Structure 1
């Protein structure tokens, strides 16, 4: 593993094998570098033999999932037996722990010598198969230390002293404190069974703890309060809990460190806002359209007419409001309605019309040259007139030759 096992340079755990190697040094410092899936790994509980668990493990908001332990030896859990170490910021998810002996739990079979467990959670199944045995808990089987900001969502079953979070809290002195934690675990057992704690003791101090009474019940203990599922899902239930840096509401309360939710930075800032009047100007533009007539001879003339219409549109903006947040001091605030006038929005509308004017082209009369050859003999003479049409566009073509009869001493037949 990387690291030196010191507070300044802890061992870095990245694999199931790294996690198991804590057993090789039970007094060092450790940190998780990532989530670890224990599927198929044959795991032996940590610290089952002397000097037991005295290390310090920081999960750093990562989780160990699919851990499976089946044992016939006392002290069964992720950590079998502690002896003054600590665990924080660690999640155990979808685990299965089973034993027919005493001290069975998800995180620790036995938590002794005021070891601190903080910001941890367990989900899964914790099962004691011999109902003549005792000390079974979702988090800790038997507790002699400080527990804070933890929760369980487990199915827990056993013999005696069976609890959703802690099976038995041993009373050595009043420094044993369990606070700001909750259980929504389902719990069954023979005697001393509770949704939060199986046997609460008489000296251990409980502060601001809760359990889901719709799932399992618990004996009346000061500092441990049963709430319905609906109430457990309301932040207002958890008085004096730190929802700024430790917890946040998802469904039930969840720990921020496991969801990468940053610590809330809540500050009170008094703001005053002034907005100057908005001034708008309106301009009027006029356009004059002149229609032109064009005459072109002798071909058609096309005249284009383009017309533009400008419409002035009035635009208004809603009032601008200034809001002031206050905290612990009274601040006078008021809402000022501001009227904003903006320049008109111009819209140009174009209509294009084409007008076709057909013009008549007049072509001057066509001149015809008539040549008559008069023979000396007395015969009928035929005169021919050829008319040539101009290729230009014309409406009518008139024959302006006006040839009637040409008098001639000879007998001439005129053909028009």
Structure 2
């Protein structure tokens, strides 16, 4: 992970692994460098617990965390489980699926915040838990939530709100925020639920904030003002909001400028139209349409092709014995013997000589040394001692094979018959 984690040189979050590594240093400064898709991560563990709170600074820089999935059986559920003296700003979480199985304090961005500032953030998706469930924050103990909104759908047993589940103290401040998500409370639909805030110790601490009474299914809220969908898409509804540098609106719900103009999703709408048509009298003429089949013919193309073939042959020659026979016939009475010589050109031949050479090899055998001890009795007797020296001579042979060349001549015989 790039950076040093300081305010002037924060850690840079570029991947899902970097995001997960925040839990290794809960006091540092962090910044997103790009959008992060958590779709292939699987079940993500919230960052920060009640015993190890996140107390650092997280700046999304206008980037988004998409397809975040959390399924937890431990309380304080969200991207950040528990924060204290922290700052979270300029981050969006889209298409989240956050589940707290029979546990409390569940939100998409944070499960619980204490003395924490959250600014310029928004969420979409679904979130569910038991008590203290909100589209943005589950349990707001203290701190400021400002310039934020949620389109997420929260579901829980009680203290469920479109933006915040519960504002636990008079220091739970909400300013210039709105929500549109469907708020569902089961089994008791009247147990502290609200379109914007599920419950709040002091609803007056929620200022200049609104919720959509039609899309949320809620006509009440522990703070904020309910508006129709049409009113929620009008700039005049949002009193005191900064539509110059913070917010924007374009015939739809307000958006945060830091994330750019949102792509408007197509909406399905069913319209019933009844029309009445007087009987139509007309004269009908029949028109036949003829379809002709057209065929085209292509004259044969004649070509002259030449084929050149290279043939490789192996030719062997044999020399037959040469024989000559010369006969002389005379129409005379006399007979004579004449010697006729014939000449045959020399027959050339190639003689291949193969020589096998064995080089002289010398071997050396060290002399055999021996020690002879002669033991004699103390009597004056002649003693003979014998010493044998054994040598291992070695022999070397040189063998040559001489090749002989033979000349073969084919004599010719001439016979003269008179």
The equivalent of 2:3 in structure 1 is 3
Question: Which aligned segments of 4 or more residues in structure 1 are displaced greater than 3 angstroms?
Answer: none
The equivalent of 2:297 in structure 1 is none
Q: What is the CA distance between 1:218 and its match in structure 2?
A: 4.2
Distance 2:221 2:22 in 1: 39
Q: Is the 8 A contact 1:51 1:83 kept in 2?
A: no
The equivalent of 1:28 in structure 2 is 28
The equivalent of 1:208 in structure 2 is 208
Count of aligned pairs between the two proteins = 253
Q: Is the 8 A contact 2:198 2:222 kept in 1?
A: no
**Which entry has the higher C-alpha Rg, 1 or 2?**
2
Report matched runs for 1:196-345 at 5 Å: 196-202=196-202, 205-215=205-215, 216-219=217-220, 221=222, 224-250=224-250, 251-259=252-260
Distance 2:63 2:106 in 1: 23
Long gaps (5+) in structure 2? 263-418
Long gaps (5+) in structure 1? 262-416
Question: Can you list the C-alpha shifts for 1:17-45, whole angstroms capped at 9, x where unaligned?
Answer: 00000000000000000000001203211
Question: Can you list the C-alpha shifts for 1:102-159, whole angstroms capped at 9, x where unaligned?
Answer: 11110110011x200000000000012xxxx311000011102210000000111101
Decide whether aligned partners of structure 1 residues 206 and 96 sit closer, same or farther in structure 2, where only a CA change above 3 A counts: same
Question: Can you list the C-alpha shifts for 1:329-354, whole angstroms capped at 9, x where unaligned?
Answer: xxxxxxxxxxxxxxxxxxxxxxxxxx
Q: Is the 8 A contact 2:76 2:106 kept in 1?
A: yes
Q: Which of residues 131, 134, 141 in structure 2 aligns to 1:137?
A: 134
The equivalent of 2:88 in structure 1 is 87
| More strand, by proportion | 1
Distance 2:11 2:228 in 1: 43
Decide whether aligned partners of structure 1 residues 10 and 202 sit closer, same or farther in structure 2, where only a CA change above 3 A counts: same
The equivalent of 2:108 in structure 1 is 106
Decide whether aligned partners of structure 1 residues 88 and 220 sit closer, same or farther in structure 2, where only a CA change above 3 A counts: closer
Question: Can you list the C-alpha shifts for 1:217-255, whole angstroms capped at 9, x where unaligned?
Answer: 243655x11110000001111111000110000310000
User: Secondary structure of the equivalent of 2:45?
Assistant: coil
Distance 2:113 2:72 in 1: 19
Distance 1:103 1:50 in 2: 15
Distance 1:137 1:94 in 2: 15
Q: Which of residues 134, 148, 151 in structure 1 aligns to 2:149?
A: 151
Is 1:118 matched up with 2:134?
Answer: no
Q: Is the 8 A contact 2:132 2:158 kept in 1?
A: yes
Q: CA RMSD in A?
A: 1.5
Q: Which of residues 171, 176, 185 in structure 1 aligns to 2:172?
A: 176
**Superposition TM-score, scaled by structure 1 size:** 0.59
The equivalent of 1:48 in structure 2 is 49
Q: What is the CA distance between 1:72 and its match in structure 2?
A: 1.0
Q: Is the 8 A contact 2:199 2:221 kept in 1?
A: no
Distance 2:222 2:12 in 1: 41
